[in-house]
Amino acid sequence: MKHHILLRATAALIALAPFALAAPAAARPMTADDLATLARIAEPAVSPGGRWVVYQQTDTDPQSYARSTGLWLVGTGANAAPPTRIADLAEANETTPTWNHDSSRLYFLSGKSGKDQLWFVDVAAGGVAGTPVQASDTLAEVAGYRLSPAGNAALMWGDIADGCAAFGCEGNGDTSSQGPGSGRVYDQQFVRHWDAWETPGVHSRAFTFALGADGRVAGTPVAIGGELVGDTPSKPFGGADELAFSADGRTVYFTLRIADRNEPRSTNLDIYAAPTAGGPAINLTASNSATDTLPTPSPDGRTLAYVAMARAGYEADRQVIMLRDLRSGTVRALTQGWDRSVDSIAWSANSRSLIVTAGDTLQHPAFRVDVRSGAVTQLTGQGNVTNVTPLRDGSLIYALNSITAPTDVVLRAADGTARALTSVNATRLADIDPVIFHAFAFRGANGEQVWGQTVQPMAATGATTGPMPTVLLVHGGPQSSFGNSWSTRWNPMLFASAGFAVVTIDFHGSTGYGQAFTDSINRNWGGSPLEDLRLGMAAAAAVNPAVDPANACAAGGSYGGYMMNWIAGQWSDGFKCLVNHSGVFDARAMAFETEEQWFDEWENGGPWWSRPDAERWNPVNHVANWRTPTLVIHGERDYRISYSQSLGAFTALQRQGIPSRLVVFPDENHWILKGRNSVQWYREVLGWMHRWTAADAPVQPARWPAPVEQP
């Protein structure tokens, strides 16, 4: 890996750690098919002794784009053999691996029986696995599970009717189907959530099961949470990190938000404790009306770590680590003085420190936090670290990716040296042209420092090329980051491989720069962020001669799509074309159509009828200024930002004779996830941008003939 430092003092800019891979002898540009079909690693599970890692790998057929997921085993020793497939069931997927307490048995989920259930294989000391065994056979599908520390119990969850005493009951519990026709009846929200219509009377519920000596679930399941009504883990994105056994296995900690008519406006997730054997649940965080989540008990059984936000109704508030003494009940904030938001928690084996991850200036490293002092030490460098497991000898195993490389599993020794345990895409990546990546800083809105990145194809000589067609990618969220991480959706390397100089800007509102910077977008959607993008394009061109603002398109999804609509009305001479994916077009309609209302109301100052300056940042008010050719894309199952928003934007473009195109995916949500659809998405997007940045494209694209006005 070749490193460069590029400084341009004349523009008061800082460039940091741009890099590129060495050019292979006979490579080719990366394509949308590559992105869709590269192997995808997730869920690395480390055996208790640290000898083995099993990870989940998804492979995609290059012809049909059908995806299959299996489990792979790799040793952690320096001379370990290459990864091998484990627990393979014909014509079925295997996911979510977990080792039992003594590394003799590997559990996982599979749909081999016709629905997702718990399975296991026995694993000998040398890593040889036996025949897979189905461990559960419940009426409801198993969505996830946890094993108790002693390996004698399993905590499983799935969508189960409220009041059902078993893990699934006859009938689905849907109270909306009242007949005699097909109409669904709702008496309170949620009505839709993320990408599905809600099923009233059904929630994600957790049950404990005994595990027999043969590894199978046994006895009568125990519902955790009693009469509480809500989803655990939370929906739509909650997972196993929201539930945990205590160190002695007698207690289950879980995250839940009460499901009532206030749920769409509430971010009040609480952490509850309930006896594993059954009994009332106790709300441990009732005093906090904001989010509390990620319950993580210490190995010595004395402390419960979790993260807490301070402001109710705000989903992007800073997540501060809290420590609860499990004997006295006293709680103290551990990272209140560290201006970063913690995304994950893992205890060291001796319970003296926590290993956490957090966004930090384009990177997402692992950090050690001392439990006594709260002192924070960064452990990893560039890239995006997830799924961290600390080992007894002080080493770490984690998943790592970057803007130029998909995920692999890495072992970091106690002395800080790191080596990859996997390289699942190495052969394919060796055949793909490398790109050059630069990070830079500049003075943005209010004279404050803002960071950005450029990505471009490497010239044959490895030198920076001259001006080339450029694309500004605007991230969604908006409280997010277009940092140094791999994306299977918006992938800067793929845009660069298509012949574009790529610019990304972490505008005001982005994460990884302190909470005040994140908060600065509140009620300011079209203000500071737009100024940052303007200044950032100029800054990128100043540090990188490949960037050509005079021959550029802009593209973004979600908030980035909103920004495309806003740019169309506020910066109409800035780009040759725009690509708007799932963007807000009419802020008033958005306020009434979106499902998670806390987001829109926090960002804009309350419900529509009472918010100040409700129309200030509404793109629909400026459609008369639109003139830029625009591609509009949406998923029909997007209930976060309804596809009607894109229909409105397309109507505004067509009615004014502006060159435009609409692409709607009936089987996708807010994101484009299916392999075939991803390839089509990129063909549409890259084709649109090539069309308007080509040498023979008109400087000011002519409008189509205006429709005939009717009397």
The confidence band for 707, taking pLDDT boundaries of 50, 70 and 90, is: low
591-626, pLDDT tens digit by residue? 999 999 999 999 999 999 999 999 999 999 999 999
186-207, pLDDT tens digit by residue? 999 999 999 999 999 999 999 9
- For residue 399, give the amino acid letter: A
Residue 376 neighbours by CB distance under 10 Å: 18
Coil, strand or helix at 196:
strand
Instruction: Give the pLDDT of residue 227.
Output: 87
Q: Indicate whether 672 pLDDT > 90.
A: yes
Picking from 534, 530, 507, the residue whose alpha carbon sits closest to that of residue 518 is: 507
313-340, pLDDT tens digit by residue? 999 999 999 999 999 999 999 999 999 9
Distance of CA 152 to the CA centre of its chain: 33
Instruction: Give the pLDDT of residue 9.
Output: 26
- For residue 179, give the amino acid letter: G
Contacts of 521 (CB under 8 A, 6+ apart): 478, 479, 507, 508, 509, 528, 529, 603
Q: What is the mean pLDDT of residues 54-80?
A: 97
Angle at 214 between CA 213 and CA 217, to 5 degrees: 90
The confidence band for 698, taking pLDDT boundaries of 50, 70 and 90, is: confident
| Residue that is written with structure tokens 């109710």 in the block | 312
Instruction: Give the pLDDT of residue 462.
Output: 61
| Dist. CA 88–CA 107, nearest whole Å | 12
Instruction: Give the pLDDT of residue 6.
Output: 28
Q: Indicate whether 21 pLDDT > 50.
A: no
User: Strand ranges (DSSP E) for 173-229?
Assistant: 192-193, 196-197, 202-211, 217-224
Q: What percent of the chain has pLDDT over 70?
A: 94
In Å, what is the CA distance from 378 to each residue of 337, 356, 375, 481?
15, 10, 10, 19
Q: Indicate whether 137 pLDDT > 50.
A: yes
Picking from 411, 405, 407, the residue whose alpha carbon sits closest to that of residue 380 is: 411
Q: Indicate whether 41 pLDDT > 70.
A: yes
H helix and E strand count, the chain: 10, 41
Instruction: Give the pLDDT of residue 14.
Output: 32
Q: Indicate whether 26 pLDDT > 60.
A: no
Picking from 161, 164, 189, the residue whose alpha carbon sits closest to that of residue 175 is: 161
For the chain, the first-to-last Cα distance in angstroms comes to: 67
pTM: 0.95
Instruction: Give the pLDDT of residue 12.
Output: 31
Average predicted confidence (pLDDT) for the chain? 94
Residue 68 neighbours by CB distance under 10 Å: 13
401-446, pLDDT tens digit by residue? 999 999 999 999 999 999 999 999 999 999 999 999 999 999 999 9
| Residue that is written with structure tokens 């594993």 in the block | 276
Min mean pLDDT across 8-17, 242-251, 296-305, 402-411 is at 8-17
Instruction: Give the pLDDT of residue 697.
Output: 87
Instruction: Give the pLDDT of residue 237.
Output: 97
Q: Indicate whether 11 pLDDT > 90.
A: no
Q: Indicate whether 8 pLDDT > 50.
A: no
473-487, pLDDT tens digit by residue? 999 999 999 999 999
- For residue 574, give the amino acid letter: G
Instruction: Give the pLDDT of residue 702.
Output: 57
Q: Are 257 and 281 in contact (CB under 8 A)?
A: no
Q: Are 455 and 436 in contact (CB under 8 A)?
A: yes
Q: Indicate whether 20 pLDDT > 60.
A: no
In Å, what is the CA distance from 679 to each residue of 37, 41, 53, 319, 485?
10, 20, 32, 36, 20
Q: Indicate whether 282 pLDDT > 60.
A: yes
Q: Are 401 and 485 in contact (CB under 8 A)?
A: yes
Phi then psi dihedrals of residue 620, to 5 deg: -60, -25
Longest dimension (CA), the chain: 84
Instruction: Give the pLDDT of residue 172.
Output: 81
536-580, pLDDT tens digit by residue? 999 999 999 999 999 999 999 999 999 999 999 999 999 999 999
Q: Indicate whether 32 pLDDT > 60.
A: yes
Q: What percent of the chain has pLDDT over 90?
A: 91
Contacts of 310 (CB under 8 A, 6+ apart): 288, 290, 317, 318, 320
Instruction: Give the pLDDT of residue 18.
Output: 38
